[in-house]
Every structure is written in C-alpha cells, then in structure tokens.
Amino acid sequence: MNTPDPENVAGDETEVEITDLDSPTGTGNLPGRSTRRRLALSPRERVWMRIAVIAGIVLLVVVVLVSLPRTPEPATVARMTVLPLSAIHPLSLSVDDGIAYVSSPDGTVTALRVSDGFRLWRYEGGKVGETSTTVADGAVFLCTLTFDNDAMTVRIDALDASDGSLLWSRTLPVNAPTPIQLAVVAGILYVSSGTDSIDTFGARDGSLLWDYTSHRSLASMPSVVDGVVYVSTEDGHVFALRASDAFPLWQSTSLFPASSASPTVADGIVYLNLQDGSLEALRASNGALLWRDLPPTPLTESSPIVAGRVVYVSALDGSVYALRASDGYMLWRAALHVPNVLPPSLLVKDGVMYVEALNGSVYVLRTSDGSILWRYQGGERGVASLTVAQGLVYLALQTGNIDALRASDGFVLWRYTPPVPATQLPPLVADDLVLIALQDGSIDALRTSDSTLLWHRAMTS
C-alpha cells in the first residue's frame, strides 16, 4: 500500500517550469528543443519564496519612489528672495488717522491712504541718512542723522500732514553718534541730540523755546508728563524741569547711577531703573524717595511698565516681577528662564502681559498672578517684534515672515511669507489692515482676518 508523501499531496503542489536552452550533448534531446522539468516545492519553501517575492516588490516600489522628483511641502516652500545688504532699504513707518507715513534713507517721505495704498503726497527735500518719522499735532517730523566731513548733525523737517508741504526745518550739531530721540508733547517738540543737551521747539512753527545743557551726561531720553520734564543723568542725578521754560523744579540724587532706560512717570510717582539692578520710586512733586527695591536678581535696563497701580519689571535671569506701586511690595514673580544677554521686551494690554524673549519665544502672562496663559516658540530664528491689536497678536519673525495669533490662546491663524523678507519693524494695524515694511523698500497691506494681500506699494521709485 502506497502512503502519500505529506509534503507532496496532490492538489497542493507548486510547480516551477525550468527551461534549459542549452542542453548538453548526448542527452537524447532534439536539436533546438528545450528540456522542461517540473519541480515540487515543500510548504516551507513556498512560504520563503512568497516572502522573497513580496520583499522584491517592496524594494522595487521604494526605488521608484526615491527616484521620482520631490515636491516640497507647502510649509517649506521658499518663496522669499534674499536680498544683498546693498539692496536693503530700511524704512520708518507710522500710521495716524487712516494715513501711513513712510520715510526712506534717501530723505523722502510718502503719505499713503491706508485703505487702498493710494499715494497722497511725496516729499523729497530731506537729506540722506538714518531717518525716522514721528506724527503728532497734524505734522510729520522727519528726523535725519547725517555725517558730513566727520561732523555729525541732525536735521528735523516738519511737514504738514495734509499735503506734505514744508512747515519748517532745523539743523542741530551732534556731539556723539547716539540714536536721536524725538518726542512731541502738548505742542512742544523735544529733541535729545547729544549726550548732554535737550532742545525744544514749537511743533507748528519751529520756534526755539529753550535748550538745556547739563553739566553731566544724560542717561536717557527725558520723560514729559503733566508739564514737567524728568531727566536722569549717568552719575545718579534726577532733574525735574518746567516744560514751558526749563525752570528747575527739584533735583534728587540716587545711590547709584540711572540706567539707560527713560524714567517712567505714572500717578504722581517717578520710577527709575538704576545700574546696580535696583528700582527707585520718587515722589513726582518734589523728588523725595518713596521706596527702593533690589529684587533677588538684578533688573534689566528697561523702563518699568505701570498699569493698574502695579509696576512690572524684568530681571537679568529672565524673571518678570510685579510690584505694588505704592510701596514696592512684590506681588508675584514669573521665572521664565529666558536668556539674559539682552533684556526681554514687555507689553501690557487688556490685563495680559506679552514678554518677547531673546530666544525667540513669546510668553503671555496673566497680570493678576503671573501665570502663563500661553507661549509661542518663534522657530529657528525667533521673533523680531510684536504688535497687539483688535484681539490679535502680530509677530515679525527674524526669518522675514509674519505670523498672526489669536490673543486669547495663541492659536496661529495665518502666516504670511512676502516675496522678499519683511523688516524687523513692528507690523502696524489700521482700518482692518496690517501694514508690513519689506526690505526692498516696499509696503504690503494684508487683510487682518486671513492675510490676503490687498495692495502693494514700492517706495523706492
């Protein structure tokens, strides 16, 4: 009795036909004929053969996919044109009453209607140099720092905001290459054009009202509040001058020199950051010391922020402090552990504090207790500047992109990648548009809700 081979059961055979095209001589095959043999494979051999076939197919698919040209993902598509340094046109951008005022390093000022980018007027009488614009009291003040034969001067052109006509012009000598600081308060233009002097002019007619020269180097731009000018010096003195004629009202001396931050004046108190990392509070009426606080870690050289009778300051270790304005009592401390190379920038709005850290992050804190509401990581190169308006946070990134986040929770609503990188100027918001200055000297206007480009205007032509 024949017992069937369990590994060769009929009906479960896998047969492979092998064609021998080159049969050896003497095998009895006819010339030109092939010999075919049938081989029976065991189940184990069949499994391994199937695995080999499947592996070969997978390998073939991988090879084909790798060889195909790749299409970048939308988030990584590089749309920007990187400009050489010689082609970058730094702009100064201001917005007032539905009009955008743009100044260029070539001394021109252009007024654009925010709603559609229509050019209202253009002023070309300025000088070439480092420029900035300030809009106040119906006038546009173009401030230009120039270098002529090793002599530094600052030129101020006052333009009528309605048509760009020149109201007046002044040129002042500068004794140090310091940033020119300009402020307009109650019809008076204040200019800190050197290390030890303050000049004041009538904002509409340019008439010289008074000039003040200190025997000590000024630490920062003065602060003007309620008709009084508060000036701090590098050797620790604080002066209060009457704004109308610079009559000295009082003088105070601190234990340590003031930092480069301007004094902050609020609710009858003058707050000063000192170089030893402490904070002083003086009575604005007579300069008497109210309190002095030295936190556990030294404070940065940033002007204190006062809101709701609370003083907010930042420290070198990345912490943020909230102090009671009346006596300096610490209400809370938020340890953010951000880098301490440069001070973080603080902004308080609608009960929320926005902290721009040097590492490119943005922390959003509740001013009530310092707890973190949300945090945004700025990406590879970080955040350059921040604007908060109409419930949205607009971030100018170091990469040249613009991000729009929901202020309540930090949700990213959109990212705009312009044709060329945006400058590091804070985006400006007006009439439901966000205006962005680009490095090629042009302006993009986006719809705030979805970043749709509504108009584009070149400033260099």
Model confidence over 268-305: pLDDT tens digits?
A: 999 988 888 889 999 999 999 999 988 877 888 788 99
Indicate whether 386 pLDDT > 80.
Answer: yes
- For residues 45 and 50, what is the distance between their CA atoms, to the nearest angstrom? 9
What integer pLDDT is reported at residue 303 of this predicted model? 85
Q: At the topology level of CATH, where does 90-213 sit?
A: Lipocalin (2.40.128)
Q: Rounded to the nearest 5°, which phi and psi values hold at 51?
A: -60, -40
pLDDT band at 384 (very low <50, low <70, confident <90, very high): confident
In percent, the amount of the chain with pLDDT more than 90 equals: 43
What integer pLDDT is reported at residue 331 of this predicted model? 96
Indicate whether 408 pLDDT > 60.
Answer: yes
Nearest residue to 320 via CA among 369, 375, 376, 281:
369
The average confidence (pLDDT) of the chain is 79
Residue with tokens 């204190």: 304
- For residues 442 and 127, what is the distance between their CA atoms, to the nearest angstrom? 20
pLDDT band at 245 (very low <50, low <70, confident <90, very high): very high
In which residue ranges of the chain is CATH 2.40.10.480 found? Answer: 295-376, 378-461
Indicate whether 409 pLDDT > 60.
Answer: yes
Least trusted range by pLDDT, from 83-87, 217-221, 449-453 = 83-87
Residue type at position 458: A
Mean pLDDT, residues 392-400: 90
Least trusted range by pLDDT, from 37-46, 187-196, 310-319, 428-437 = 37-46
Is 295-376 a CATH 2.40.10.480 domain? Answer: yes
Indicate whether 67 pLDDT > 70.
Answer: no
Other beta carbons less than 10 A from residue 153's beta carbon:
16
Sheet strands side by side (includes 428-430)? 428-430, 433-437, 442-447, 453-458
Residue 390 tokens, joined: 């109409």
- Counting Cα atoms < 13 Å in the Cβ hemisphere of 374 gives 12
| The Cα angle at residue 50 between residues 49 and 56, in degrees rounded to 5 | 90
Give this prediction's pTM. 0.76
Q: At the topology level of CATH, where does 378-461 sit?
A: Thrombin, subunit H (2.40.10)
- For residues 403 and 209, what is the distance between their CA atoms, to the nearest angstrom? 45
- For residues 73 and 372, what is the distance between their CA atoms, to the nearest angstrom? 33
Residue type at position 371: S
Higher pLDDT, 232 or 47: 232
Nearest residue to 288 via CA among 224, 244, 245, 240:
240
Indicate whether 407 pLDDT > 80.
Answer: yes
Indicate whether 99 pLDDT > 90.
Answer: yes
β-pairing, 442-447 vs 433-437, is antiparallel
- For residues 108 and 357, what is the distance between their CA atoms, to the nearest angstrom? 34
Higher pLDDT, 432 or 221: 432
What integer pLDDT is reported at residue 43 of this predicted model? 56
- For residues 232 and 273, what is the distance between their CA atoms, to the nearest angstrom? 10
In which residue ranges of the chain is CATH 2.40.128.630 found? Answer: 90-213
Other beta carbons less than 10 A from residue 361's beta carbon:
19
Indicate whether 84 pLDDT > 70.
Answer: no
pLDDT band at 382 (very low <50, low <70, confident <90, very high): confident
Q: For 190-232, how does the pLDDT look when each residue is reduced to its tens digit (9 = 90+)?
A: 987 666 788 899 999 999 999 888 877 787 788 999 999 998 8
Residue 46 tokens, joined: 């069949």
Residue with tokens 């090879």: 63
Indicate whether 7 pLDDT > 50.
Answer: no
Higher pLDDT, 142 or 81: 142
Higher pLDDT, 76 or 272: 272
- For residues 250 and 238, what is the distance between their CA atoms, to the nearest angstrom? 8
Q: Are 289 and 271 in contact (CB under 8 A)?
A: no
CA torsion through residues 47, 51, 56, 57, sign? positive
Mean pLDDT, residues 232-239: 84
